[in-house]
Amino acid sequence: MPSLRVLAHAFRAWRRNTRWRKHEPETPYLADLLSGAPVCLHVGASDGRHSYVMTQVAPRATIYAIEPSAFSFQVLKMTLAWHGIADRVTPVHAAVGNKAGEMLLVTPRKITGRMGRAYAFVADQAPEGKARPDLQDTGMEVQPTPVITLDGFCAERGINRVDFIRMDIEGAELMALEGASKILDRDRPHVLLEIHPAMLEARFGGTAEQVIDLFKRRGYRMFALNGDRLEERFEVVGDRPWKDYFFIHPARAARLPDGVFKARMAA
């Protein structure tokens, strides 16, 4: 039987989805990327918000929702069931990295006393002092979590095509993308990626520039929202601790549904 906390979090996620509230500003653009029966990887799935949106804009999509937190994974499964989309979204309890194994999931405790589950990140060992350089906290909760690579996961599941990746993993993006190199080279999937420059540097020894260069080397184009305008760029927005970016490969431009990305890729 799910705990009351799980039920409460799942109900809040379900209600926000049905009312189309509290979604990131990039969310409406998924309809301009997904059509037909795409195969999608939702990495850092949390309560499944983006998975839900994917099922609405592409009802025949196959989605794998990957979430490392044991608590959030319970919420995710409950939310999927309440939305009636558990047959289209497969929940996977794991973090994503560049090698399979096990790591620690570090969840900061906010100054309100509540757990900052949206700010959780993986680490080889618990950090000393502050959990994150970009967040005030009063401690942390640490739990082990299994780690997979996206390349290995797809090989084991017989997934021979990936069309879209949504990734929000609090600084581990370079590590996770290195573990998805075969997918990126083979399929050139569309990617919606949240980049965390401070966390990349402080907790993972990487940089936002390295993440962007990983896509540039493969010929991708990069887009970001500036207000309500989609702009092409090859740099991060410098005044924000994190932000979402779209990466689209020209090889897939002709198969994009009609919309802003198809128009921009043809320019």
Q: Is the pLDDT of residue 24 over 90?
A: no
Q: Is the pLDDT of residue 197 over 80?
A: yes
Q: Which residue type, as a one-letter code, is found at position 205? A: G
Mean residue pLDDT of the chain comes to 94
Q: Is the pLDDT of residue 241 over 90?
A: no
Residue 172 has what pLDDT?
98
What tens digit of pLDDT does each residue of 131-170 get? 998 888 999 999 999 999 999 999 999 999 999 999 999 9
Buried b (16+ CB within 10 A) or exposed e, 137-149: beebbeeebebbb
Average pLDDT over residues 212-217: 97
Q: Quote the DSSP letter at residue 58.
A: -
Q: Is the pLDDT of residue 59 over 90?
A: yes
Q: Count Cβ atoms below 10 Å from residue 128 Cβ, excluding itself.
A: 6
How much is the pTM?
0.96
Buried b (16+ CB within 10 A) or exposed e, 26-55: bbebbbbbbbeebbbbbbbbbbbbbbbbbb
Residue 110 has what pLDDT?
92
Residue 193 has what pLDDT?
98
For 4-97+147-266, which CATH superfamily applies?
Vaccinia Virus protein VP39 (3.40.50.150)
Q: Is the pLDDT of residue 51 over 90?
A: yes
Average pLDDT over residues 40-64: 96
Secondary structure (3-state) at 95 = strand
More confident residue, 40 or 21: 40
Average pLDDT over residues 57-69: 97
